[in-house]
Amino acid sequence: MEGLLSEIIAHLGLGTNLGDREDNLAQAVKGLNSGTALTVLRSSRIYETEPWGVTDQPAFLNIVVEVSTNLSPQELLHHVKGLEGKLGREPGPRFGPRLIDVDILLYGDMVVDEPDLHIPHASLHLRAFTLVPLAELAPDSVHPILGQTITNLAMQVEGLGGVKPLA
């Protein structure tokens, strides 16, 4: 029930490797910021990143945005998946190319373990392409399961060489 929860700070990871990647990110941030469900507070720099999982595909652009929302975790998931659809994302192979991808990385310090939703994101600690921009916005936030700061996790993750700020 929207409006019943107090505002919470969440962090969302956005990625794209098809079409006009910079415009895809801009449209996603604009779409997130429309309406009353959430407000984008700030965004990391844009990073160009090597593909993860399936490596035979174009490079990605990734950012992390910090949002304030009163949506529940499930409502937020529904909201971001709806936005992906509005922006033209079509179903495809897991870890494959995508027009836009929006993942819930952190939702305050909450832990959610449901069949369709895992917060913190189940692979957050394994992905340099999310940890690096997340550390830019929330360096001292603590991973609620691992008990380590985002900065600490970002310094230890494999693949840092494949994450470069966009020139």
Residue 28 counted as domain residue: yes
Write the pLDDT tens digit of every residue in 4-62.
568 999 999 999 999 999 999 999 999 998 777 899 999 999 999 988 777 778 999 99
Instruction: Answer whether residue 3 is part of any domain.
Output: no
94 is catalytic: no
Domain range enclosing 43: 8-165
Into how many domains does the chain fold? Answer: 1
**150: domain CATH number?**
3.30.70.560
What tens digit of pLDDT does each residue of 92-116 get? Answer: 666 667 889 999 999 999 999 999 9
Active site residue 101: yes
Give a yes or no: residue 149 inside a domain.
Answer: yes
pTM score: 0.92
Exactly one of 20, 42, 45, 89 is catalytic; which is it? 89
With contact defined as beta carbons under 8 Å apart, do 164 and 47 qualify?
yes
Which residue in the block uniquely carries the two structure tokens 């360096």? 139
Tell me the pLDDT tens digit for each residue of 123-152.
999 999 999 999 999 999 999 999 999 999
Q: Is residue 49 part of a domain?
A: yes
Contact between residue 133 and residue 44 where contact means Cβ atoms under 8 Å apart? yes
141 occurs within a structural domain: yes
The active-site residue out of 42, 56, 103, 116 is: 103
